[in-house]
Structure 1
């Protein structure tokens, strides 16, 4: 068994709550012979360890090294069975699956009528909760049973099941095509970020149109609409059409706000939809809508009826705190946002096994940006180094690029210009290698390269020249993406006016917050 597989068991045990551990011990102790079972002993050993240590396990003498992998696999399975029996994990999907299992057992015992009765209830429950894949499985089992047990009370039973199977199959195929398209576009976005030019826009548009299946919106259920809106959302993000992003993210979350049961059944989709709605509003600088949507989301996650488990808890933290950073960025309230940094770092440690490394790096970039806005450039550099030095991470190219550019700016601001030339060269090589060099970046690096040859009394004039050049790109559909990650223009204005960048952004916010066009 590989190290990662061993770690999986250890991580699973460490993720258990006190009540889940207590239930597991009750579960394995339901028979007297299990009280001293080796897998329970292994559980107790791993539960007490602070870090996985195979040598410490073997030293206990409960198992030989060659038997350990099998014992671990058995323990892993028993924990999962115990968790499945826990009432807190008994959601609608598990209940439907359980009923399908019961019906299958009754069928194999030849109790066809009893099996069909359970299947009918399970099918209605599945359809009403948009669980159409399992509903299709149920119909297929009903067809098998009906072929052996003819219910004379329904003469058209065969036709009824055939129509149900056909409709469910068609809906499942459509949902599958839409979910595939959504996932492929999301994968493209993670790899490359936004489109860089007209050629890439055309390529993505052709790709999207070629794979978007035909549909009648009036015939779509909630599940099919969800995947449709997700596909449109990712296409809109890739092409930087943030107004369209807002439109489809709003349609997405409205599916849930209009049906509270869907929030309970699919809390992950509810959280993700709200995150993308907030991200769209952030890019559109719709402050009032952003603040309202964030407050509403946070309030709902605190409701007693809102489902809560380790996964949902981690995602709620990820999306809510990500957008709390964005709220401070809109307002320019960088110093006021610094207490959020400590809270996020503490909770990231608690969620380190639940949040992927990409999202952790995104947090680091936001933390670095917060410190940069607050004027603490050394702490900004510290968190950027965590991203730049991560050689194993596959994440968005644009985030990697702007981490390096912000690193250059922070070094300059901190007066750490003794190795600035080396940093400029390495950043330039990185950008060329990533094929992600834009006019904004070219002009900025050209400016930094020439700083060493400029007399101190000429620096302000050079800042003014660069500011004028970059302002030309502010509304460019491709070049403006640079300003989504790093507000270079506000930084230049801070240098020209000799004011902190936080004050510049805060003043802009005060001037525009009542002036933002409605959407």
Structure 2
């Protein structure tokens, strides 16, 4: 895996489908001189390899060590050119740029009227698809042609181009501001996590208000509205204000349903919007709304008009299985969910190279939680350790709650052998966290004390800890800590001596 990640060319070759490989060979063999071209020999050799091995390439004398880097770069470019010609990779943006390229060629040949005809038609399509960046480039080329040559279309033409250029510039300015804000908020969420105090809250609100002060939603087109809703979703995620996260996630998705032609142009953002919507509905425990929205989403992504490529399929995979597991969780159907795990792991292997490590670790946590709910504590620990032993840059909250889930499993299974050591290591980890809260320490201290208590004292300890969790649940900054793992539900099940499934079903009924 490490070698595969190091060599981009090898990853690209291995990502090609059978039809894409066939097209590439036809593409490079269109001229007889390419039959024995070294880059084609390199392609064939890489295609045979299961793992990248540069020594084999050098041994077969396909290239010298000094020339290999240039040969690989040339092959990489040729594969991309071939893929660009593949109909399965054509989309509106590529087609518009192709027409702009054609018009540029005609202009350079002095065929100005023909160039303007293509530009005008392409511009209309770009504006209809809200591809304003491309439309802006088209208008700039139109200005060049109109200002340099007498095309007899200048009457009223200058005013029209100036008006279009000014309007697109204004819209692009909004899009830039909102996309920058969205990216900044998303970066904050990844690097610092959710707000932990009033100072964090004020910082986020000040940033958001400053960037959106002069933006009027009524004047925004599709793309700007999309960024506007994204920014609000990420802001309210950071603030842990789930009511407004739900509101703007819903508007994000509805924006696409009101403009269905845009789903084809922006399939990733359609998937992402639904992903956030399902997550927030899960936090609210609204089974019916999740199932209704999930059915609509599934019908759209399965339709023929939806863009089906490796990227969109990987994102659909994540959204589908995360949502399915969330439904099992809020229904308390752990044993049913466990049956899906072999299928899920098979799909995880298939999509391994297309999805970042963090999303895989989230799936491992859900698998571990599913095993815990079905009383398979050994597999809970097994999958929890996959997260803890991960060598990547794992979010602190994910690591903390994985450790707590493992402690819950060890307690339930009566695994005392390394329990105390694991508690001590968890406390050390907590102290090293960037901003551990008082609740983090309370949770670890509870597990530190509970295992040594006799049964009567354990009941008292569970009651006291349950009371502390009730109080923490009222603190807006402790919300997220209690969302990852339903430790409160587990405490209630222990006090009432019932299965945790019963507690979950009661919660859903109330919600």
State the TM bucket, normalised to the shorter chain: over 0.9
2:404 alignment counterpart = 405
Following TM superposition, by how much is the alpha carbon of 1:213 offset from its aligned partner in structure 2, in angstroms? 4.8
Distance 1:51 1:420, change over 3 A: same
For the aligned residues, what is the CA RMSD?
1.7
**Residue 470 (structure 1) aligned with residue 469 (structure 2):** yes
Cα offsets for 1:133-190 (capped at 9, x unmatched): 1111111111111111133233222222122111111111110110010011011111
Tell me the distance in 1 between the aligned counterparts of 2:309 and 2:439: 44
Tell me the distance in 1 between the aligned counterparts of 2:201 and 2:485: 23
Distance 1:238 1:248, change over 3 A: same
- What is the 5 A alignment of 1:154-169? 154-169=154-169
Q: Secondary structure at the match of 2:418?
A: helix
2:488 alignment counterpart = 489
Cα offsets for 1:333-375 (capped at 9, x unmatched): 1111012221221111111110011111111111111111111
Moved more, 5-14 or 139-148: 5-14
- What is the 5 A alignment of 1:86-97? 86-97=86-97
Residue 197 of structure 1 contacts residue 478 of structure 1 at CA under 8 Å; is this kept in 2?
A: yes
1:454 alignment counterpart = 453
Residue 374 of structure 1 contacts residue 502 of structure 1 at CA under 8 Å; is this kept in 2?
A: no
Tell me the distance in 1 between the aligned counterparts of 2:282 and 2:260: 26
Tell me the distance in 2 between the aligned counterparts of 1:144 and 1:42: 44
- What is the 5 A alignment of 1:197-212? 197-212=197-212
Q: Secondary structure at the match of 1:465?
A: helix
Cα offsets for 1:371-410 (capped at 9, x unmatched): 11111111111111121122432x4332222122222222
Structure 2 gaps, min length 5: none
- What is the 5 A alignment of 1:100-139? 100-139=100-139
Following TM superposition, by how much is the alpha carbon of 1:453 offset from its aligned partner in structure 2, in angstroms? 4.1
2:420 alignment counterpart = 421
1:296 alignment counterpart = 296
Following TM superposition, by how much is the alpha carbon of 1:499 offset from its aligned partner in structure 2, in angstroms? 2.8
Cα offsets for 1:439-458 (capped at 9, x unmatched): 43332222222225422332
Q: Secondary structure at the match of 1:280?
A: helix
Structure 1 gaps, min length 5: none
Following TM superposition, by how much is the alpha carbon of 1:226 offset from its aligned partner in structure 2, in angstroms? 0.1
Calculate the TM-score normalised by the size of structure 2: 0.96
Tell me the distance in 2 between the aligned counterparts of 1:353 and 1:101: 33
Q: Secondary structure at the match of 1:437?
A: coil
2:151 alignment counterpart = 151
Q: Secondary structure at the match of 1:214?
A: coil
Q: Structure 1 residue runs of 4+, over 3 Å off?
A: 2-6
Residue 4 of structure 2 contacts residue 52 of structure 2 at CA under 8 Å; is this kept in 1?
A: no
2:257 alignment counterpart = 257
Following TM superposition, by how much is the alpha carbon of 1:312 offset from its aligned partner in structure 2, in angstroms? 0.6
Q: Secondary structure at the match of 2:214?
A: coil
**Residue 7 (structure 1) aligned with residue 17 (structure 2):** no
Residue 45 of structure 2 contacts residue 57 of structure 2 at CA under 8 Å; is this kept in 1?
A: yes
Q: Secondary structure at the match of 2:472?
A: coil
Tell me the distance in 2 between the aligned counterparts of 1:182 and 1:317: 24
Residue 40 of structure 1 contacts residue 75 of structure 1 at CA under 8 Å; is this kept in 2?
A: yes
Following TM superposition, by how much is the alpha carbon of 1:283 offset from its aligned partner in structure 2, in angstroms? 1.3
**Residue 441 (structure 1) aligned with residue 440 (structure 2):** yes
**Residue 362 (structure 1) aligned with residue 359 (structure 2):** no
Residue 192 of structure 1 contacts residue 397 of structure 1 at CA under 8 Å; is this kept in 2?
A: no
Moved more, 447-456 or 315-324: 447-456
Following TM superposition, by how much is the alpha carbon of 1:56 offset from its aligned partner in structure 2, in angstroms? 1.6
